[in-house]
Structure 1
Amino acid sequence: MNCNATVNRDAIVGCILGTAVGDALGLPYEGVASQRAPRFLGPPDRYRFFFGRGMISDDTEHTCMVAQSLIESHGDVDVFVKRFASRLRWWLLALPAGVGKATARSGIKLWLGVNPKNAGVYSAGNGPAMRAAIFGAAIDDGSLMMKLVRASSRLTHSDPKAEFGAIAVALAAKHSREHATVDANQWLDQVADVIGDEANELIDLLRKTLESVDRGECTTTFAKSLGLNKGVTGYTYHTVPTAIHAWLSHPNDLQKAVTTMIRCGGDADTTAAIVGGIVGTKVGCDGIPNAWIAGLREWPRTTAWMQHLGESLAESIAGNPTISAPKVNPIAVLLRNLLFLLIVLFHGFRRLAPPY
């Protein structure tokens, strides 16, 4: 394997596992106000979902489905859309807990026979952003990457804001992979060039993000400056600026970036997954705490399966035509999701009790 392929492999595996650990660490904090979380759960320095172990949610599952579809598409955007749409349909049938409304509605439209290009619903949610980092980790061709990000976004969300947020995340991951030192202004200029004047609101928010980082403000303070005192919402123009702030504040330290993001509260699993994916692209698997990888209790998408997926995607992108996408047993996924749902319900009832 050539040097560039090796870099991509490390970046892709780091992105997938970084997304997974951020997702799993943030999951029990999802929807818990930032002021209550320290009293209710303690610091986000270890897994607190299931007897000290972590499990992933839709954020990581979508990233894995994107990676599988990229392997099968061989750079063909139309094939990617078809394969991802097919996976999205069956994923929804397996009863995933906590699926976003826009994604659920688009999945239903797909089952009703709607063309994947018309299945998206008008929503500016953060679903496209949560699965966008893998594009930046894997794809060298900037033009192709943008086409894939847009296709992925429009499959579930037709509001351009959702697409703009996903593009910013994908470019952040790509910048992390390609630069030894992050140049925030260079990254922002690239984002502005790609998404144009239509996204001036997001560019203004990202410019404020960079200014806040330059002043040395912590991410929680920045989130509050956006009016997110109770936590970061699923609105992509809330999610993406705060996630970018955590990335730029700790571009080489996944542990600090992810835990800082979770302390902001709100949609903590998605925001931490996005940050984990971006920084994981930079630091690779070696930059993720071993205890966090070992502490994930997942099946059938085990950490070994995720690593194999990342390596397969890297081989595919390097030009190996014999690589096939790793698969998962749908019955196993359904059984896993039923267990996951029971644990989520337990957490829901637990939140009714003190401390408040």
Structure 2
Amino acid sequence: MSRDSIIGCLLGTAVGDALGLPYEGVSPQRAERLLGPPDRYRFLLGRGMISDDTEHTCMVAQSMIEARGDVNVFTRRFASRLQWWILALPAGVGKATARSGIKLWLGFKPRNAGVFSAGNGPAMRAAIVGAALDDVSLMLETVRASSRLTHSDPKAEYGAIAVALAAKHARDHETVDANVWLDQVIEAIGDEGAELVDLLRRASESVNEGQCTTAFAESLGLANGVTGYTYHTVPVAIHAWLSHPNDFRQAVTTMIRCGGDADTTAAIVGGIVGAGVGREGIPEEWIARISEWPRSTAWMQRLGESLANAIAGDPTCNAPTYNIPALNPVAVLIRNLMFLIIVLFHGFRRLAPPY
């Protein structure tokens, strides 16, 4: 376990999320004309904000701290956080996650709250589990618990497992070996995940042949953007990681250029590559220009340090709380409403040229 890998994963997820957010739902062709290259934040006056991808990753990290390796405790703590997160009306939440949160409020047990969906929600929050845990069995149990809380389709779980194992591999190996990583995925998901394994193998072979990530996405029928279907999201994100395992800037911008669900795909790639390169491998100006509250990048750093301490066995370590004003649900709601206004502005902007 590496403290720097945990922090790098958290911040890498946030940076990928914030860079990709303005490009969400835009085709690669129009994104270039409408927004320009994804080389800086284009969300609000040259600054970035995070969305549900990073928020869920942080909630998973907090719940892991409190769980102390007990998956049942992790499930309960994550379910509780998800309930309150939904209550604050986050913008852009996926349908399956929203329905799961509502079911929790209606009294459903966490094991019954999941909705049959193969969306990429579980994959977007899985990298931190792989970046943090050495015990593969515990890692897989935690990913499964996180996935099933919101998505009951096994495909969503398989995609999340592939992402978590990628983050673990990036953390543990200076030089990525796609074959070793793929063998671990095959062992973890079994024959029922054969379709995903085939797609991941195609991604690895494509990288070996020198094919760029955008061309690989096009070969999967995703020329107009990568969708939120996990069997679209994960193979393309893995291709970006394998193409640029030690170059955070190139990996994330390449992923965003594929279009579609760009904040989630870039968050996944950012989390995986961030686990390998650590904070020092992430452009400092990208970290510094995220304008967030209450989940600031400084708070994420403290969260990463607390998670590392908890995994190392520190019994006094607790999940960091926000600054006192942010503990007021009304304050979080105000932040989310402001965020929604900016998102709506981008939505209306897309109605105007250039097309």
Q: Which range, TM-score by smaller chain?
A: over 0.9
- 1:331, distance to aligned residue in structure 2 (A): 3.2
Q: Matches of 2:332 and 2:164 in 1, distance apart? A: 28
Question: What is the TM-score when the length of structure 1 is the normalising length?
Answer: 0.98
Listed as ranges, the gaps of 5+ residues in structure 2 are none
Q: Matches of 1:312 and 1:332 in 2, distance apart? A: 24
Aligned match for 2:242, one of 248, 257, 261: 248
- Paired residue for 1:311? 305
Q: Matches of 2:346 and 2:48 in 1, distance apart? A: 13
- 1:25, distance to aligned residue in structure 2 (A): 0.2
- Paired residue for 1:346? 345
Aligned match for 1:140, one of 122, 129, 134: 134
Q: Matches of 2:284 and 2:191 in 1, distance apart? A: 43
Q: Matches of 2:293 and 2:109 in 1, distance apart? A: 32
Asked if the contact 1:300–1:332 (Cα under 8 Å) also holds between the matched residues in 2, the reply is: no
Asked if the contact 1:102–1:123 (Cα under 8 Å) also holds between the matched residues in 2, the reply is: yes
Q: Matches of 1:162 and 1:93 in 2, distance apart? A: 24
- Output the amino acid matched with 1:39: R
Aligned match for 2:39, one of 34, 45, 50: 45
- 1:239, distance to aligned residue in structure 2 (A): 0.1
- Paired residue for 2:254? 260
**2:230 is the counterpart of 1:231:** no
Q: Matches of 2:65 and 2:179 in 1, distance apart? A: 32
- 1:334, distance to aligned residue in structure 2 (A): 1.4
Q: Matches of 1:336 and 1:258 in 2, distance apart? A: 26
- Paired residue for 2:7? 13
- 1:291, distance to aligned residue in structure 2 (A): 0.6
Equivalent positions of 1:138-217 (< 5 A) are 138-217=132-211
- Paired residue for 1:327? 321
Q: Matches of 1:332 and 1:131 in 2, distance apart? A: 24
Q: Matches of 1:336 and 1:318 in 2, distance apart? A: 34
Q: Matches of 2:161 and 2:294 in 1, distance apart? A: 30
- 1:193, distance to aligned residue in structure 2 (A): 0.7
- Paired residue for 1:92? 86
RMSD: 0.6
Aligned match for 2:77, one of 74, 80, 83: 83
- Paired residue for 2:270? 276
Equivalent positions of 1:49-88 (< 5 A) are 49-88=43-82
- Output the amino acid matched with 1:284: G
- Output the amino acid matched with 2:19: L
SS at match of 1:181: coil
Of all paired residues, the percent bearing the same amino acid is 78
Q: Deviations over 1:266-307 (max 9, x none)?
A: 000000000000000000000000110011000111110000
SS at match of 1:109: helix
Q: Matches of 2:55 and 2:330 in 1, distance apart? A: 16
- 1:332, distance to aligned residue in structure 2 (A): 2.7
- 1:327, distance to aligned residue in structure 2 (A): 1.8
- 1:335, distance to aligned residue in structure 2 (A): 1.5
Q: Matches of 1:80 and 1:335 in 2, distance apart? A: 28
- Output the amino acid matched with 2:336: N
- Output the amino acid matched with 2:128: I
Q: Matches of 1:41 and 1:353 in 2, distance apart? A: 12
SS at match of 1:31: coil
- Output the amino acid matched with 1:36: R
SS at match of 1:322: coil
Q: Matches of 2:268 and 2:121 in 1, distance apart? A: 10
SS at match of 2:5: helix
Asked if the contact 1:25–1:48 (Cα under 8 Å) also holds between the matched residues in 2, the reply is: yes
| Count of aligned residue pairs for this structure pair | 350
Asked if the contact 1:223–1:232 (Cα under 8 Å) also holds between the matched residues in 2, the reply is: yes
Q: Matches of 1:189 and 1:309 in 2, distance apart? A: 32
**2:105 is the counterpart of 1:122:** no
Asked if the contact 1:30–1:267 (Cα under 8 Å) also holds between the matched residues in 2, the reply is: yes
Q: Matches of 1:174 and 1:298 in 2, distance apart? A: 27
- 1:28, distance to aligned residue in structure 2 (A): 0.1
- 1:241, distance to aligned residue in structure 2 (A): 0.1
Q: Matches of 1:182 and 1:337 in 2, distance apart? A: 38
Q: Deviations over 1:137-195 (max 9, x none)?
A: 00000000000000000000000000000000000000011111100001001100110
- Output the amino acid matched with 1:69: S
- Output the amino acid matched with 1:21: V
| Deviation beyond 6 Å, 4+ runs, structure 1 | none
SS at match of 1:163: helix
